[in-house]
């Protein structure tokens, strides 16, 4: 495992790699993300993409220096049972990352969900639409500057009384 990480360090110039509670995470610059994931899938045997998600570090006490949004790619090698978490960062202005749908079909809906909830665009995604919220929704609710109760969208609907049927 550590030899893989050392190799990644040399080839892709990892920003950081660390281990917490037995889980290894590597941080990679956004430009190198697709290459790295492709390498991991094709050479290192990480054939399953378990999860794609994002964390908004706007109000975090010690925000990471690479950007506001931290994307999380959770990989698994089904043969060996190894897990690896790949991180990459971006900001509101540069919220575009390459899509990994060409590598794993599983990323299709997961990336749509990240777009829906955080407003991060995935370049090269075949069908990047909102998935959970209605199309006419304008905000991205899991961003930290969006209030829990929303901005009144939930009650912006017509009322039907008894007499109307």
| 65 is a contact residue toward other proteins (CB under 8 A) | no
Residue 147 φ then ψ, to 5°:
-70, 155
Query: Nearest CA to 130 among 138, 161, 81?
Result: 138
| 64 is a contact residue toward other proteins (CB under 8 A) | no
Instruction: Please report, as residue ranges, which positions from 68 to 127 form the binding site for other proteins (by CB under 8 A).
Output: 72, 74, 78, 81, 83, 85, 104-106, 108-110, 113, 117, 126-127
The binder of other proteins chosen from 3, 138, 145, 158 (CB under 8 A): 158
Q: What is the DSSP letter of 59?
A: T
**Which segments of the chain does DSSP mark as H helices, in order?**
2-12, 33-42, 107-118
Residue 36 corresponds to which tokens in the numbers above?
Answer: 């790295």
Q: For other proteins, which stretch binds (CB under 8 A), given 7-15, 27-35, 91-99, 153-161?
A: 153-161
- CA–CA gap between residue 78 and residue 61 (Å, rounded): 36
Using CB under 8 A, list all residues that contact other proteins.
20-21, 23, 25, 47-51, 53, 55-56, 60-62, 72, 74, 78, 81, 83, 85, 104-106, 108-110, 113, 117, 126-127, 130-134, 141-142, 146-151, 153-165
């Amino acid at each position: 495992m550590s030899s893989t990480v050392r190799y990644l360090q040399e080839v892709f110039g990892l920003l950081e790699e660390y281990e917490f509670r037995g889980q290894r995470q590597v941080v990679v610059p956004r430009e190198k993300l697709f290459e790295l994931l492709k390498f991991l899938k094709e050479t290192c045997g990480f054939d399953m993409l378990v999860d794609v998600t994002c964390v908004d570090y706007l109000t975090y006490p010690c925000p990471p220096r690479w950007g506001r949004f931290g994307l999380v790619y959770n990989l698994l090698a089904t043969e060996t049972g190894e897990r690896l978490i790949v991180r990459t960062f971006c900001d509101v202005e540069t919220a575009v990352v390459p899509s990994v749908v060409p590598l794993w079909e599983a990323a299709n809906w997961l990336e749509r969900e990240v777009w829906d909830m955080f407003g991060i665009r995935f370049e090269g995604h075949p069908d990047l639409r909102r998935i959970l919220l209605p199309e006419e929704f304008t905000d991205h609710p899991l961003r930290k500057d969006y209030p829990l109760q929303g901005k009144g969208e939930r009650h912006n609907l017509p009322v039907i009384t008894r007499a109307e049927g």
